[in-house]
Amino acid sequence: MVGRTDPVLTVKGSGPGLVLAHGGGGGIEANFGPLLDDLTRTHTVVAPDLPGTGGTPRSATPLDLDTMADTLVETAAAAGVERFTVLGYSMGTAIGVRAATRHPERVTGLVLTAGFARPDHRMRLAVQVWRELLKGDRRTLARFLTLVAMGEPALAALSTEELEKAVSELAGFVPEGAPEHVDLVERADTTADLPGISVPTLVVAAALDRLAPPALSRELAAGIPGAEFAEVESGHLVAAEAPDAWRAVVRAFLDRHP
């Protein structure tokens, strides 16, 4: 199968299944860390590292959305979690939507945060710059990603020293699989999948997002029949900028749809 790499995963908690799909160039701890304790309190959380992140090897071939979705579902089932909600962030929202389309007998709900059905021109341009910067100095890449991914209030609140530390930490974090992730983000398109989604769905927009603008989340919600919509005051880095607000809307949805 194109792009197939068996993921390394973490399974914690007990209760209904909840599978996490992290963002491109991200990771489970970076994208979901502040939510994990609360989620594992009520759910069996399956958290796979996507190819080229965490302990999962980098893919030797281009990533394919169908294969990524199939692998997510198969990984959860192999861990004993056969039916589950998908909590997707950024690129993980596209993986979650495709998983729900291809495996309706497995996916029982969707929570889609800072996501998109397909990138708009702004996002595509940012991704193209991201790809080129991956070939060069990682510190320059980190400055660019900080600029586009961090909300203005959070960025303005940093001291010069804190900003430089954040850039340095991000430069050291970039996973080896990021080039394949970026390529998949640019190619992803789930607009044709949306009308067929029939499970309870919550779309969470990051209101200050300049990488995946909130209009893309609104488009995502509008395309899914009956989808709920919420906003949090944050840039793209929701886990870092607005963890409490994000946790609250996710928790409320999960409690309504156990």
- Please report the pLDDT score of residue 8 as a whole number: 77
Can you spell out the DSSP letters for 51-103?
TTSTTSPPPSS---HHHHHHHHHHHHHHTT--SEEEEEETHHHHHHHHHHHH-
On whether the CB atoms of residues 87 and 108 are closer than 8 A, the answer is: no
pLDDT in tens, 161-200: 999 999 999 999 999 999 999 999 999 999 999 999 999 9
**3 confidence band (pLDDT: 50, 70, 90):** very low
pLDDT in tens, 26-70: 999 999 999 999 999 999 999 999 999 988 999 999 999 999 999
Residue 13 Rama label (left phi>0; alpha psi -120 to 50; beta): left
Give me the CATH topology for the region 9-121+175-256. Answer: Rossmann fold (3.40.50)
- Please report the pLDDT score of residue 9 as a whole number: 81
Tell me the helix, strand and coil percentages in the chain, rounded to 5: 50, 15, 35
CA angle, corner 143, sides to 137 and 144, nearest 5? 95
pLDDT in tens, 67-123: 999 999 999 999 999 999 999 999 999 999 999 999 999 999 999 999 999 999 999
- For residue 179 the two structure tokens come to 């080039």
- Residue 2 pLDDT > 90: no
Domain boundaries, the chain: 9-121+175-256
What H or E segment, with its residue span, contains residue 107? strand 107-113
- Please report the pLDDT score of residue 219 as a whole number: 97
Alpha-carbon distance 46 to 85, whole Å? 10
- Please report the pLDDT score of residue 238 as a whole number: 98
